[in-house]
Every structure is written in C-alpha cells, then in structure tokens.
C-alpha cells in the first residue's frame, strides 16, 4: 500500500514537472503577479548582463585613454562589449563550466574580440569591480523610477488635500473619536511625509550609486601607478561618483541606507493604505477604494462584499520590503577585506526590494487616484457622539469667559460622562448646568457645539504645505 502511494506521488510529480517545462511555469509571484514593466526591465537578466558589459567597456576605454593598454585594443573591446556580440546564452554556457560569473563574462568578451584585443579584457580588475559598479547603475536606474512615482503620488495627494481642506471629519486617537479635523489635514500630512521620503531617497542615491575599479583589496595595485586615475575615469564614463575608498567591495553601510529608505517608504505607503482600509470599514465607510460593480468580485461566497484589496495588498507587500532591512544590515560586517556572504543575499534583495517598492508605489497611485468619498457618512460619524467631541471646546470657552481652567475642565467632564452614559446631548446638559450658564449664553453654546467651526488652523496649515510643495520637486 505504501509503495503504491509513493509510486502515485512520484508519478504526480513527474506530470507536474513535465507540465511546468512545457509551458515554462513561473515560480516567484514577481514573475507573473507583482511588479511593473519599467522596474522589471531594469532587473531582468539581459539588462543586468549589459550593465556588466558596460563596466568592462568603461574599464577598457579608461585604460586605452591612459595608455595602459593599446588604444586600438581598447576600442575593439568597447565595440564588442555589447549583448549582441557577447550573448547571455554563451556566457551562461561558459559559466556552467567555470562556475564563475565574471570570469565567464570576461571570456565571453575575449571570444568575440578581433585579433589579440581580447587578451586585454578585464585587465587590472577584480570581479567585484564589475559587480558593484554594475549594481550601482541598476540601483541608479531603479531610484530614478521610484523618484518619478513618489513625485507623482505626492502631487495626487496634494491635490486631494487642496480639494478637501474644508471637508470636516472626526479625528480619532486610540481608535476613539477625539476632535474634528479635516481630510485636507490627513492628505497634507501624507504629502509632507512622502516629500521627506523623496529627500531620503535622493540622499541614499548619492551614497549608493558609486563606481569602483580598485582591484582585489582596494589598492588598485594591478593597475600600476595610474590605478587611482583609472578608478576615477571609469566612474566618470559610467556617470557615477567614484567611491572615495573601498576594499574589495563598496562598503555596505551605503546599501543599508538605501534599503532602509525603501523600508521607510514602505511604512508610509502602508500607513496610507491602512487608513483607507480602516475608513472603508462598514461601520465607518467615510472613504473607500474604487470598486467596479460590473466586473469586480469581492468574495467567492459573499455576493455583497467590496473588499479593499488594493490597500490590503500594499500593506502585505510592504511587510516584505521592510523585512529586507535586517538582511541589508547583516551584509555590512564582512570578513577582513571581504567575503562572499553578501553576494547571494543581494542577488535576491536588490531586485526584489526595488521591484516590490515600485509595485506598491504604483498601487498607491492607483488607490489615491480613485478614492470614493461618502460625505453622508463623514457627517454622520462627526455627530455620532451627541456632541461629546466638543467637550474640549466647552472647557476652553468657559475658561475664556472667566471660569478657572480646572473648574471648567471638571464641569465639561462631568457633563460629558453623563451625556455618554445616558445617551443625552452634551449641549442640553451644558444649557441646564447652573455653573456653566453663568458664563455661557444659549447662543454661545449653540456656536460652541458646531464641530465644523472647531478646526483651529487646519486650513492655514494645509495652505502652507501646498505653498511649500511648489519647491519640492
């Protein structure tokens, strides 16, 4: 019986493998579910391959200019260091034998160079010169995609802030109704935070996108007396800032900073999505993400459901991005001048962190571009507590009218507790309060209890954020 089960299981596995091979079944959700074409194209194997060829090309060019290798040989290497000559397929074939990616790349270039030019490929360099410099190009391209989308999202949210600065709603602290605020305030806070993330990304870009051509321990010894000039010239050709000092690797604290910025950005996007999810709850339903009732299905069993799936996906994927911080930090302490423990980690971490960060940015743009407001519910929730949210204002106005602050607080609190317990209007209790009536008229109380007029400097604050945003990008 056991043998029969094993046979059937093996047969099942064979069938699955055969099916997968036939249709080239993808495994990782990034391959078929998550990510945008613009970011994926940066990290696809062919582009990574070309970026490494670009480094070999820049090295040959710099060495030719400085007379380290013959100029005509350098020109030939530059000409042939392109994917149409050095194919990914051929380099993979070589690597299957050599078990070394950069040695295989170097041999692939050598094979297609005319004459003896190929003898000078990769002269004076170590593998990580190619890896780290090409990663810098990939990260630079990725950051530029992220920059554009952060800017786009921020402008969408700023527009929402301006359009909704007079839309008064209940503010909540500890999940409880607190005081009136505005949707303009909510959105302006998010826009301001996104701008800070943008600045952090620019700073990280300056630190992480550096070039290096420094040899096995960072001394440029194999390149001779002109080694440091080669290092600087290679970076210049590539459009990168030269690393000021390295050992065999660019120091990973820079990469930690970059991943931390992505993680921090993910917290902001998650915060926005979480708020939308909460505000879309049935018992609140003030805003919600767009739902196409003609095509979209909320549940396979509950026909009425309209779930915040976009916002939930943002929150879920954000967790993955945030988790990379630990891996990035572990990559900084390496043995001596370097070991290889960072390499395998970064092959996974860099593309996934960039692709997923870009993906949830894209989702948040979609979410905020298509928000639905439920104005009746916003007003209902604002008045849900029978005026309890105006207790602070009552205290303040009693104090301004001449009552001591502590006494005013006690009166407001006493009546608020009674109103809450007995489901009464706070306004009615205050009007009936002998002490309070000595300081406030009925007209005063009517004005005080209007939540739409208790938003302090909210409009001015939003206006200042919108005005300052003109210099953000």
Separation between Cα atoms, residue 279 and residue 441, nearest integer Å? 37
If one counts every other C-beta atom within 10 angstroms of the C-beta of residue 301, the result is 5
pLDDT value for 25: 75
Residue with tokens 């196409």: 292
Separation between Cα atoms, residue 370 and residue 361, nearest integer Å? 14
Separation between Cα atoms, residue 367 and residue 369, nearest integer Å? 6
What's the chain's length in residues?
Answer: 473
Q: Is the pLDDT of residue 302 over 70?
A: no
Task: Select which of 18, 174, 300, 336 is catalytic.
Answer: 174
pLDDT class for 304, splitting at 50, 70, 90? Answer: low
Separation between Cα atoms, residue 138 and residue 143, nearest integer Å? 9
Q: Which two tokens stand for residue 361?
A: 């940015």
Q: What is the pTM of this model?
A: 0.91
pLDDT, one tens digit per residue, over 87-145 is 999 999 999 999 999 999 999 999 999 999 999 999 999 999 999 999 999 999 999 99
Separation between Cα atoms, residue 322 and residue 259, nearest integer Å? 8
Top mean pLDDT of 18-27, 180-189, 435-444 is at 180-189
SS3 assignment, position 176: strand
Q: Region 311-336: what's the mean pLDDT?
A: 97
pLDDT, one tens digit per residue, over 44-66 is 999 999 999 999 999 999 999 99
Catalytic-residue membership of 255:
no
Q: Which domains does the chain have, with CATH numbers?
A: 2-32 (no CATH), 42-123 (1.10.275.10), 129-211+249-380 (1.20.200.10), 388-448 (1.10.40.30)
pLDDT, one tens digit per residue, over 190-214 is 999 999 999 999 999 999 999 999 9
Residue with tokens 């607080």: 409
pLDDT, one tens digit per residue, over 396-405 is 999 999 999 9
Angle, helices 127-163/227-238, rounded to nearest 10 degrees:
40
Buried b / exposed e along 435-455 (16+ C-beta atoms within 10 A) = ebeebbeeebbeebbebeebb
Task: Select which of 299, 441, 457, 468 is catalytic.
Answer: 299
pLDDT value for 26: 82
Q: Region 184-188: what's the mean pLDDT?
A: 98
Distances (CA, A) of 323 to 188, 263, 349, 352: 28, 8, 10, 11
DSSP 8-state code for residue 455:
-
Catalytic-residue membership of 441:
no
pLDDT class for 307, splitting at 50, 70, 90? Answer: confident
pLDDT value for 6: 54
Q: Is the pLDDT of residue 19 over 70?
A: no
Residue with tokens 């099942």: 12
pLDDT class for 277, splitting at 50, 70, 90? Answer: very high
Separation between Cα atoms, residue 180 and residue 397, nearest integer Å? 16
Distances (CA, A) of 371 to 288, 331, 380, 445: 6, 40, 19, 36
Q: Residue 170: left if φ>0, alpha if ψ -120 to 50, beta else—which one?
A: beta
């Amino acid at each position: 019986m056991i043998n029969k089960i094993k046979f059937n299981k093996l047969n099942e596995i064979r069938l699955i493998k055969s099916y997968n091979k036939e249709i080239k079944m993808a495994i990782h959700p990034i391959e078929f579910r998550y990510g945008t074409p613009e970011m994926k194209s940066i990290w696809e194997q062919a582009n990574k391959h070309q970026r490494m060829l670009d480094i070999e090309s820049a090295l040959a060019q710099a060495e030719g200019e400085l007379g380290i290798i013959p100029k005509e040989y350098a020109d030939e290497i530059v000409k042939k260091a392109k994917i149409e000559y050095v194919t990914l397929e051929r380099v993979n074939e070589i690597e299957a034998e050599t078990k070394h990616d950069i040695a295989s790349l170097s041999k692939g270039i050598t094979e297609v160079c005319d004459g003896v030019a190929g003898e000078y490929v990769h002269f004076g360099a170590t593998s990580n010169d190619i890896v780290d410099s090409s990663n810098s190009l990939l990260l630079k391209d990725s950051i530029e995609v992220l920059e554009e989308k952060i800017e786009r999202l921020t402008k969408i949210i700023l527009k929402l802030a301006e359009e909704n600065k007079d839309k008064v709603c209940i503010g909540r602290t500890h999940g409880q109704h607190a005081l009136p605020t505005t949707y303009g305030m909510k959105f302006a806070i998010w826009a301001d935070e996104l701008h800070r993330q943008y600045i952090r990304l620019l700073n990280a870009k300056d630190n992480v996108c550096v070039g290096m051509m420094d040899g096995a321990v960072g001394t440029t010894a194999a390149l001779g007396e002109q080694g440091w000039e080669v290092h600087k010239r290679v970076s210049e050709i590539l459009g990168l800032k030269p690393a000021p000092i390295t050992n065999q690797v660019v120091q990973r604290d820079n990469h930690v900073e970059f991943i931390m910025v992505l993680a921090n950005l993910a917290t902001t996007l998650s915060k926005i999505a979480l708020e939308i999810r909460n505000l879309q709850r049935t018992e609140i339903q003030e805003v919600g993400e767009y739902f196409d009732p003609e095509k979209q299905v909320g549940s396979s069993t509950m026909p009425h459901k309209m779930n915040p799936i976009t916002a939930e996906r943002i929150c879920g994927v954000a967790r993955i991005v945030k988790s990379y911080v630990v891996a990035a930090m572990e990559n900084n302490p390496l043995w001596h001048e370097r070991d290889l423990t960072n390499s395998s980690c970064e092959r996974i971490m860099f593309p996934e962190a960039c692709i997923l960060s870009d993906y949830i940015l894209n989702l948040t743009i979609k979410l905020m571009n298509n928000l639905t407001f439920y104005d009746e519910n916003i007003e209902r929730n604002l008045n849900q507590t029978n005026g309890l949210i105006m207790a602070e204002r009552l205290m303040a106005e009693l104090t301004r009218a001449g009552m001591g602050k502590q006494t005013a607080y006690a009166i407001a609190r006493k009546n608020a507790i009674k109103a809450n317990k007995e489901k009464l209007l706070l306004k009615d209790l205050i009007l009936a309060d002998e002490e309070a009536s000595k300081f406030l008229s009925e007209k005063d109380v009517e004005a005080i209890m209007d939540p739409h007029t208790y938003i302090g400097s909210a409009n001015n604050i939003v206006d200042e954020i919108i005005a300052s945003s003109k210099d953000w990008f």
